Structure 1
Amino acid sequence: MSSLAGLSPVLIANRGEIAVRVARSLRELGLRSVAVYSDADRDALHVDACDLAVRIGPAEAAQSYLNIPALLEAAAASGARAVHPGYGFLSENAAFAQAVIDAGLVWIGPPPAAIELMGDKARARELAREAGVPVLPGLEEDAPSAAAAQAFVAEHGLPIVVKAVAGGGGKGMRVVRAEADLADALAAAAREAQAAFGDGRVFLERYLEQPRHIEVQLLADAHGACVHLGERECSLQRRHQKVVEECPSPAVGPELRARLGEAAVRLAHACAYAGAGTVEFLVAGEEFFFLEMNTRLQVEHPVTELVYGVDLVELQLRAAAGEPLTLVQQDLEPVGHAIEARLYAEDPAAGNLPSTGTIRAWRPPTGLGVRVDSGVREGSVVETHYDPMLAKVIASGPDRATALERLDEALADLVLLGLTTNAGATRALLARPEVRAGDLDTNLLERIAGDLDLEPPADLLPAAALAEQLLAAEAQAAHTTVPLGWRVDGTWGSWRRRTDRGDLVVEGRPGEPGAVHAGEDHWTGAARRVGPGAISATLDGLTRGYAVALDGDVLWIGRGGHQIEVRPAPRGTRDASAGHGVVEAPMPGTVLIVSAATGDAVVRGDVLMVLESMKMELQITAPRDGVVGELTHAVGDKVARGERLAVVESDEEDA
Structure 2
Amino acid sequence: MFDTVLIANRGEIAVRIIRTLRKLGVRSVAVHSPADADARHVREADAAVLLDGPLGYLDAERILRAAKDTGAGAVHPGYGFLAENAAFARRCAEEGVVFIGPPAGAIEAMGDKIRGKETVAAAGVPVVPGGAEPGDDLIEAAARVGFPALVKPSAGGGGKGMVLVRSAEELPAALESARRTATAAFGDDTLLIERFVENPRHIEIQVLADAHGTVVHLGERECSLQRRHQKIVEEAPSPLLDEATRTAMGAAAVEAARAVGYVGAGTVEFIVQGSTSDYYFMEMNTRLQVEHPVTELVTGLDLVELQLRVAAGEPLPFGQAEVRLTGHAVEARVYAEDPARGFLPTGGRVLALRDPAGARVDSGLTEGGVVGSDYDPMLSKVIVWGPDRASALRRLSAALAGTSILGVTTNIAFLRRLLAHPAVVGGDLDTGLVERVSPEIVPEAAVPGEAVLAAALAFHQDLVPERPRDPWEVPDGWRVGEAAFSTWRVETSGGVTDVEVSGLPASGARVRLAGGPIRHGRVRADGGDLVVTLDGATRRYTRARDGETLWLGSEGAAWAFTPHRPGDPEDLSSGAGAGGGVVRSPMPGTVLVVKAAVGEQVAEGQPLMIVEAMKMEHTVAAPVAGTVAELAVRAGQAVEMDAVLAVVEPQEAPQGQAPGEEDAVRAADAGPAAGLAGAAS
Fold similarity call, TM over 0.5: yes
- From the superposition, tell whether residues 577 and 84 of structure 1 become closer, same or farther in structure 2 (CA, over 3 Å): closer
AA partner of residue 635 (structure 1)? A
Task: State the secondary structure of the residue aligned to 1:330.
Answer: helix
Contact 1:164–1:189 under 8 Å retained in 2: yes
Greater shift, 91-100 or 304-313, is seen at 91-100
2:319 paired residue number: 328
- Give the C-alpha shift of residue 522 in structure 1: 5.1
1:555 paired residue number: 550
% identical equivalent positions: 51
AA partner of residue 339 (structure 2)? P
Match of 2:538 among 543, 557, 566: 543
2:461 paired residue number: 470
Tell me how far apart the structure 2 counterparts of residues 431 and 523 of structure 1 sit (CA, whole Å): 33
Task: State the secondary structure of the residue aligned to 1:24.
Answer: helix
Match of 2:450 among 446, 454, 459: 459
Match of 1:96 among 55, 80, 88: 88
Task: State the secondary structure of the residue aligned to 1:546.
Answer: strand
Tell me how far apart the structure 2 counterparts of residues 143 and 611 of structure 1 sit (CA, whole Å): 33
Contact 1:575–1:582 under 8 Å retained in 2: no
- Give the C-alpha shift of residue 465 in structure 1: 1.4
1:295 paired residue number: 286
After superposition, what is the alpha-carbon deviation per residue over 1:600-623, rounded to whole angstroms, capped at 9, x for unaligned?
111111000000010110000111
Greater shift, 421-430 or 544-553, is seen at 544-553
- Give the C-alpha shift of residue 575 in structure 1: 7.6
Tell me how far apart the structure 2 counterparts of residues 575 and 114 of structure 1 sit (CA, whole Å): 51
- Give the C-alpha shift of residue 54 in structure 1: 0.8
AA partner of residue 223 (structure 2)? C
- Give the C-alpha shift of residue 479 in structure 1: 8.5
Tell me how far apart the structure 1 counterparts of residues 267 and 362 of structure 2 sit (CA, whole Å): 20
AA partner of residue 203 (structure 1)? L
Greater shift, 538-547 or 400-409, is seen at 538-547
- Give the C-alpha shift of residue 209 in structure 1: 1.1
Greater shift, 644-653 or 583-592, is seen at 644-653
Tell me how far apart the structure 1 counterparts of residues 114 and 467 of structure 2 sit (CA, whole Å): 67
Match of 1:14 among 6, 9, 24: 9
The aligned runs of 1:72-111 (5 Å cut-off) are 72-111=64-103
Tell me how far apart the structure 2 counterparts of residues 536 and 575 of structure 1 sit (CA, whole Å): 32
- Give the C-alpha shift of residue 102 in structure 1: 1.0
1:597 paired residue number: 597
The alignment's TM-score, normalised by the length of structure 1, stands at 0.93
The alignment's TM-score, normalised by the length of structure 2, stands at 0.90
Match of 2:22 among 6, 14, 27: 27
- Give the C-alpha shift of residue 149 in structure 1: 2.7
The aligned runs of 1:239-638 (5 Å cut-off) are 239-284=228-273, 285-367=276-358, 370-455=359-444, 457-473=448-464, 476-477=465-466, 494-500=485-491, 501-518=496-513, 521=516, 523-568=518-563, 578=578, 580-638=580-638
- Give the C-alpha shift of residue 576 in structure 1: 6.9
Task: State the secondary structure of the residue aligned to 1:267.
Answer: helix
- From the superposition, tell whether residues 329 and 603 of structure 1 become closer, same or farther in structure 2 (CA, over 3 Å): same
Contact 1:493–1:509 under 8 Å retained in 2: no
Contact 2:577–2:584 under 8 Å retained in 1: no
AA partner of residue 599 (structure 2)? G
Task: State the secondary structure of the residue aligned to 1:150.
Answer: helix
1:51 paired residue number: 46
- Give the C-alpha shift of residue 49 in structure 1: 1.2
Task: State the secondary structure of the residue aligned to 1:536.
Answer: strand
Tell me how far apart the structure 2 counterparts of residues 337 and 288 of structure 1 sit (CA, whole Å): 23
- From the superposition, tell whether residues 395 and 580 of structure 1 become closer, same or farther in structure 2 (CA, over 3 Å): same
Tell me how far apart the structure 2 counterparts of residues 627 and 568 of structure 1 sit (CA, whole Å): 38
Contact 2:82–2:88 under 8 Å retained in 1: yes
Tell me how far apart the structure 2 counterparts of residues 124 and 393 of structure 1 sit (CA, whole Å): 32
Task: State the secondary structure of the residue aligned to 2:51.
Answer: strand
Tell me how far apart the structure 2 counterparts of residues 391 and 379 of structure 1 sit (CA, whole Å): 16
1:646 paired residue number: 646
- Give the C-alpha shift of residue 540 in structure 1: 4.0
Tell me how far apart the structure 1 counterparts of residues 392 and 624 of structure 2 sit (CA, whole Å): 48
- Give the C-alpha shift of residue 478 in structure 1: 6.9
- Give the C-alpha shift of residue 373 in structure 1: 0.7
**1:36 equivalent in alignment to 2:28:** no
What's the C-alpha RMSD, in Å, of the aligned pairs?
Answer: 2.1
Contact 1:548–1:558 under 8 Å retained in 2: yes
- Give the C-alpha shift of residue 151 in structure 1: 2.3
Contact 1:32–1:51 under 8 Å retained in 2: yes
Task: State the secondary structure of the residue aligned to 2:373.
Answer: coil
After superposition, what is the alpha-carbon deviation per residue over 1:101-153, rounded to whole angstroms, capped at 9, x for unaligned?
11111111101111111100110010010011100111021385xxx333223
AA partner of residue 299 (structure 1)? V
Tell me how far apart the structure 1 counterparts of residues 48 and 361 of structure 2 sit (CA, whole Å): 23
Tell me how far apart the structure 2 counterparts of residues 104 and 519 of structure 1 sit (CA, whole Å): 71
The aligned runs of 1:97-136 (5 Å cut-off) are 97-136=89-128
Task: State the secondary structure of the residue aligned to 2:504.
Answer: coil
After superposition, what is the alpha-carbon deviation per residue over 1:36-61, rounded to whole angstroms, capped at 9, x for unaligned?
11111111110111111111126xxx
Task: State the secondary structure of the residue aligned to 1:612.
Answer: strand
Contact 1:494–1:509 under 8 Å retained in 2: no
AA partner of residue 108 (structure 2)? E
Task: State the secondary structure of the residue aligned to 1:96.
Answer: helix
The aligned runs of 1:125-204 (5 Å cut-off) are 125-142=117-134, 148-204=137-193
- From the superposition, tell whether residues 494 and 519 of structure 1 become closer, same or farther in structure 2 (CA, over 3 Å): closer
- Give the C-alpha shift of residue 458 in structure 1: 3.7
Task: State the secondary structure of the residue aligned to 1:259.
Answer: helix
Tell me how far apart the structure 2 counterparts of residues 127 and 184 of structure 1 sit (CA, whole Å): 30
Contact 2:475–2:504 under 8 Å retained in 1: no
**1:226 equivalent in alignment to 2:215:** yes
Tell me how far apart the structure 2 counterparts of residues 180 and 221 of structure 1 sit (CA, whole Å): 48
Gaps of 5+ in 2: 660-681
Tell me how far apart the structure 1 counterparts of residues 550 and 589 of structure 2 sit (CA, whole Å): 24
AA partner of residue 629 (structure 1)? A
- Give the C-alpha shift of residue 63 in structure 1: 2.0
- From the superposition, tell whether residues 81 and 479 of structure 1 become closer, same or farther in structure 2 (CA, over 3 Å): farther
Tell me how far apart the structure 2 counterparts of residues 619 and 588 of structure 1 sit (CA, whole Å): 14
1:483 paired residue number: none
